[in-house]
Structure 1
Amino acid sequence: MINYYGSLCTTMYELLHPIAPEDELQFYLQYANNKMNILEPLCGTGRFLVPFLKKGFNITGFDMSTEMLEELYRKAPYAQVFKSSIEEFRCKEKFDYIFITSGSFSLFLDKDTAFNVLMKMKESLTSKGKFVFAAETTANIIPDRKDYLEDCRVKTQEGYDLVLKTKNYYDKHKKILLSPSLYELYDGVDLLRKEEMDFRIKLYDFGELDELILKAGFKRIHVYSDFKKREIADINSKTFLYECYV
């Protein structure tokens, strides 16, 4: 399955990113208040959702990775989360605020899927709701790499070595960065387990998403280049932050 976070991937993710970056967390918190019904699609291990919970916000989340949700439940057993892909997401209630963090909107790899997600988010909002999300840009293009090379190595709680190896290929026509990933768990030199991940992200040019956002029914949008809400200066921004209003 494309972009599925399995067991070893989740372990490494949690060891490397146990908490949300403070500037990014504050960026998403600034839109929330205690009267809101809030939704976080693609909530993962809860590094954003759990701080929202601790501040008393009424927040619901979902993710398609069983392994990531299990990690979230270990942190917050009473969290309101459920398993679903965003394509399969169905909910009768409306939300005042929906957010997708960490550039994860780029996991939707084609124009039709991105548009359908935008439509679904718009339809899930109240009449005065807002949708805030981040997308990766073409400034993140990296050189092609045909062979697996070690990118990262961490120690697990059991003392094992967890190694991430990746290779890269950029499809310039579809503007998709493909990074096949291999996670390997070692006890010394002995390979205990391995896990493959087909990781891909869509990279966007400046202004490319604006038309889709408006077509989906959002009336007003703001685009920023960083978490301090500075307007985008040029096409070299590595992340576009979208603030969308119905």
Structure 2
Amino acid sequence: MKNYYGRLCAETYEVLHAAAPEDELAFYLSYARAGDKILEPMCGSGRFLVPFMERGFDITGIDLSEEMLSSLYRKAPRAHAFKGDILKFDSDAPYDYIFISSGSFSLFTDEGAADRVLVKLRSLLAPGGKMVIAAESMAGACNGDGSYRLVSAIPFDDGGELRFSSMDRYDAKTQTQYSPGRYELYRDGELVESEWMDFQIRLYRFGELEQRLERAGFASVTTYRSFDKEPAKGDMDEMFLYECSVG
């Protein structure tokens, strides 16, 4: 399945991205108010959701990966999260604040699906609510040499090693970055388990997603290029962060 985080992928993610970067966490926390009902779609293993919980916020997560959610529950057994597709998610009450972190919105590579997700998220927001999402910019376009390269090798106390390899190919026509990943678990030098991930993200041009957000019904959209809320300037900004309001 495209962009599905399996067991070995989730285990690698937990080692390489165990904690939320402080500047990124502070950025998302800056929109949260006491008493807010908060939703984090694509919450993964909870590196943002757990710090929100620890600060007393009422936050709910949703993610497609059972393996990533299992990692979340190991860290925070009382976490409130659902396994499922955001397009099929419903709530008894609207949310005051919704955020999608770490460029994860770019995982919706199909333009039609991305538009439907934005409309769905708009429908889940309360009047006066805010949504903040991160997406990848054109700065992420990368072409490799057509071969896999070793990205990380994680040793275990029992002598095992989890290796993650990836390759890169950019398709300018669809603005899609293809970075398939290969996860391999070795014990005593022998391969005992492997997993492949069809990882794809859509890269956005400056002004492109803003139009989609407005069509989805958001009253105002502000785009930043950094977690200190510096206004975006162009296609090659390192990232895009969208602050969206509901009238």
TM-score, reference length from structure 2: 0.97
TM-superposed deviation, 1:157: 5.2
* CA separation of 1:30 and 1:113: change in aligned 2, threshold 3 A: same
Aligned to 2:234: 234
Aligned to 1:144: 144
Gaps of 5+ in 1: none
Q: Which moved more, 1:158-167 or 1:57-66?
A: 158-167
Aligned to 2:14: 14
Cα distance in 2 for partners of 1:157, 1:8 equals 17
Q: How does 1:115-194 map onto structure 2 within 5 Å? A: 115-156=115-156, 158-194=158-194
SS at match of 2:87: coil
Contact kept in structure 1, 2:41 and 2:99, CA below 8 Å: yes
Aligned to 2:69: 69
TM-superposed deviation, 1:154: 1.2
Letter in 2 for 1:114: A
Letter in 2 for 1:27: F
Letter in 2 for 1:115: D
Identity across the alignment (%): 47
Contact kept in structure 1, 2:29 and 2:52, CA below 8 Å: yes
* CA separation of 1:150 and 1:124: change in aligned 2, threshold 3 A: same
* CA separation of 1:144 and 1:126: change in aligned 2, threshold 3 A: same
Letter in 1 for 2:106: S
Superimposed CA distance per residue, residues 156-194 of structure 1 (whole angstroms, 9 cap, x where no aligned partner): 354421111112221110000111111001113111100
Gaps of 5+ in 2: none
Superimposed CA distance per residue, residues 13-70 of structure 1 (whole angstroms, 9 cap, x where no aligned partner): 0001111000000000010012100000000000000000000000000111001101
Cα distance in 1 for partners of 2:160, 2:229 equals 41
Letter in 1 for 2:143: P
Say what the alpha-carbon RMSD is for the aligned residues. Answer: 1.1
TM-superposed deviation, 1:128: 0.7
TM-superposed deviation, 1:147: 1.8
SS at match of 1:147: coil
Q: Which moved more, 1:148-157 or 1:19-28?
A: 148-157
Letter in 2 for 1:152: S
Structure with higher strand content: 1
Aligned to 1:80: 80
SS at match of 2:113: helix
TM-superposed deviation, 1:94: 0.5
